[in-house]
Chain A
């Protein structure tokens, strides 16, 4: 026990932990931002778990074939968009249940990812690996003691995720399109009667959201790890759904939730390697348990967009 505490208060441990926190949080931030923009338009995308997985797989394969990590990210975005469009077809145009459609997309994407991966690489005893992203230290800033190592010695995608948080916030609250998107999510009829195309808005929100989920997936196989495993996403998609609620559909608060998850994830990894005589599965469970506890505290006060889950149709009856 004593040795653990000694470890915790070592500077290198803290730097490692906090730096890992940002790394671990990155796929969650991408997924959460993607889910927020989708849900703000009134669509719950439960396909997120599957979309992240299949994007992770295709991104991995693309990099494996070409050697370019950025090409892998591009392919992951494309795959995310395709599955978001599938979701849009089901829930926006056919008006099917968003819950059922989302779970369906997740199951389909998961199965397909497995199938394509096996088809492409067969069943080798050692899974193939790619050359992952290298950390991209920002000149000068990364030389700052302590903070430089934590904040400015990360993967490029980590910086991208940080930049996206204020961009998303400004888009939602300061632009015409953001306002239109929020009105579509709150009261689609109000949007329709002022001339906003509800279905198009929702489709675009799904597409942008799907792209972000795709990047989140790609980060897992191209930066976080260097191989594809069927449980590489491991419920992170569902964690994103929880973070959206935790953050009350706000990009900044949702991202803070993602950072909290990242911190606990990073912490439990270190606990695992500290040699406790406890099955490591218990540590794996930790971030999810904390997520649930955090949700209990916050979710009761949160308020979802009023139009969430409701397909929009012009009321077809006379008066």
Chain B
């Protein structure tokens, strides 16, 4: 059935939404047809999530009208949207880990007048739904015991349980392994077969081409194009998305470094075991090395031990057993200062919580890891002249957009925050940089800049770089060698020349085949 024969189920007309100082949506017109899967494609900050949060009643729009089934509606809270059959699965799941799947699903249901929860009846209804859509999750287990993929199923069931006919999914594949993504796509097809309509937010071109019937491209808060899947291709969508021609999948790290045993290790990890927060081993015996001037990419869906591995290398988490050598020196575990002293540059995954002090100035954050050394150290005092000099130099060199070194760090955008961390890491000519998810959530410009800096540092300074990333494009674009981490173990390490996406993708889902 072509979308032309379908009737519109949702119409959003000239939707406008401003946040404090930025215009997020400039008069957007969006239509969803019954029974289709419509992809909302766009970069970070294009306004996809904002538009859908308006449709879900989570944000009030400043201007514009919404029609559902031809009737004008006004949503002041999600409950109004839910009542009209709209459900949304946010990127960060809205679940309570400490209670059961069933409790998460039935909470807030208004239909029964009963004071007490009828869990038997609810469970019955849920199991019927699970059967109907092939979404099987045990209703009685606590959500904290579920994998991310299962939690997503709970979120979808939660919306369906409330009678959602229109389902909005915000970047649903961002946290999934390739096999889980296949499952999700099968579910989405089943949903539309049953007469539901789906809005699928994504910035991944190949997924959008695979799953959607129609693609709507957003850029800078405006809809720039609408295409039927059969009328377009990835190349066109990519240029529509970023507003100009781009090269798809071009490798940024042009000179490929041949890795051999002659080159000195800057990082050597032997049989490292690290415990995670839940008391289960998160890293289960990994052994690898990073050579001088090499970029080793560790790919993998997040939550497979990458965070714990990075934290152990940073010196903020103790291992169960194993050895780590930084430039030949045995790493003193649990002593972050040792790593700073001995030439490790650290780019933590959580830049706001661990990497920066948001309420202090840009300068304070820039000098954070050098204040204990000359020339910034002056006896027990800080040499502020030197600090000012260094800060100004780095703000300029890394084109950090800020009102000045005295500006509060929390006033900076995500990309510029990451540049502060990068600046202080690179300034000290590190022997090794451990970069955990260095570009997550950043816009294309900032990503580009950070990639360039990492490559330059590895080439010019001969630094080794351990790049931990869940973005496969990034790993392929930068690395000299690629390793894949799955359930705390390495599935394998291959040179970039011999690596292909299919194999790496399989490794990420825990399927072991050797690279041909």
Chain A residues in the interface with B (C-beta under 8 A)? 174-177, 179-180, 182-183, 186-187, 189-197, 303, 306, 314, 316-319
Contacts and interface: CB of A to CB of B under 8 A. Distances in A.
A175 B116 contact: yes
B403 interface: no
B82 interface: yes
Contacts of B22: 318
B79 interface: yes
Contacts of B56: 193
A177 B20 CA distance: 35
A314 B58 contact: yes
Nearest to A187: B96
B90 A193 contact: yes
Nearest to A196: B108
A317 B77 CA distance: 17
B95 interface: yes
18 contacts: A174-B117, A175-B115, A176-B114, A176-B115, A179-B99, A179-B103, A192-B78, A194-B94, A194-B158, A195-B82, A195-B83, A195-B110, A196-B79, A196-B107, A314-B58, A314-B59, A318-B24, A319-B45
A158 B21 CA distance: 57
> Closest 6 A-B residue pairs measured CB to CB?
A195-B79, A319-B49, A190-B94, A194-B108, A318-B24, A318-B50
Contact of A179 (B44, B97, B107, B162): B107
Nearest to A183: B107
A129 to B, nearest CB: 43
B284 to A, nearest CB: 26
A176 B20 contact: no
A98 to B, nearest CB: 19
A317 B50 CA distance: 8
A179 B106 contact: yes
Contacts of B108: 180, 183, 191, 194-196
Contacts of B44: 319
Contact of A190 (B19, B45, B95, B114): B95
A318 B49 contact: yes
B445 to A, nearest CB: 17
A179 B117 contact: yes
B432 interface: no
Central interface residue in A196, A303, A306, A318, by most chain B CB within 10 Å: A318
Contact of B82 (A183, A190, A194, A318): A194
Nearest to A314: B58
B45 A175 contact: no
Interface string B80-108: 00110000101100111111000110111
Nearest to B83: A195
Contacts of A191: 107-108
Contacts of B106: 179
Interface string B287-316: 000000000000000000000000000000
A196 B106 CA distance: 12
A182 B96 contact: yes
Nearest to A178: B117
Nearest to A185: B96
B107 A180 contact: yes
Given A318-B49, A318-B50, A176 B109 contact: yes
A316 B110 CA distance: 27
Nearest to A188: B94
Nearest to B44: A319
Contacts of A314: 58-59
Contact of A174 (B91, B96, B99, B116): B116
B48 interface: yes
B117 A175 contact: yes
B81 to A, nearest CB: 9
Interface in B6-52: 17, 19-20, 22, 24, 44-45, 47-50
Given A180-B108, A187-B94, A318 B117 contact: no
B112 interface: yes
A137 B88 CA distance: 57
A316 B59 CA distance: 8
Given A176-B112, A176-B114, 9 more contacts: A179-B107, A190-B95, A193-B56, A193-B58, A193-B88, A194-B82, A194-B107, A195-B83, A318-B19
B49 A183 contact: no
Nearest to B25: A318
Contacts of B83: 195
Nearest to A176: B117
Central interface residue in A175, A187, A192, A194, by most chain B CB within 10 Å: A194
Contacts of B59: 314
Contacts of A187: 94-96
Contacts of A192: 58, 77-78, 94
A314 B79 CA distance: 14
Contacts of B47: 318
Contacts of A177: 115
A304 B98 CA distance: 11
Interface string B43-78: 011011110000010110000000000000000011
Nearest to A177: B115
Contacts of A179: 99, 103, 106-107, 117
A176 B88 CA distance: 22
Given A176-B109, A187-B94, A318-B24, A194 B162 contact: yes
Nearest to A319: B49
Central interface residue in A187, A189, A193, by most chain B CB within 10 Å: A193
A317 B24 CA distance: 9
A306 B95 CA distance: 11
A306 B144 CA distance: 13
B78 A193 contact: yes
Central interface residue in B22, B106, B107, by most chain A CB within 10 Å: B107
A179 B106 CA distance: 9
B48 A319 contact: yes
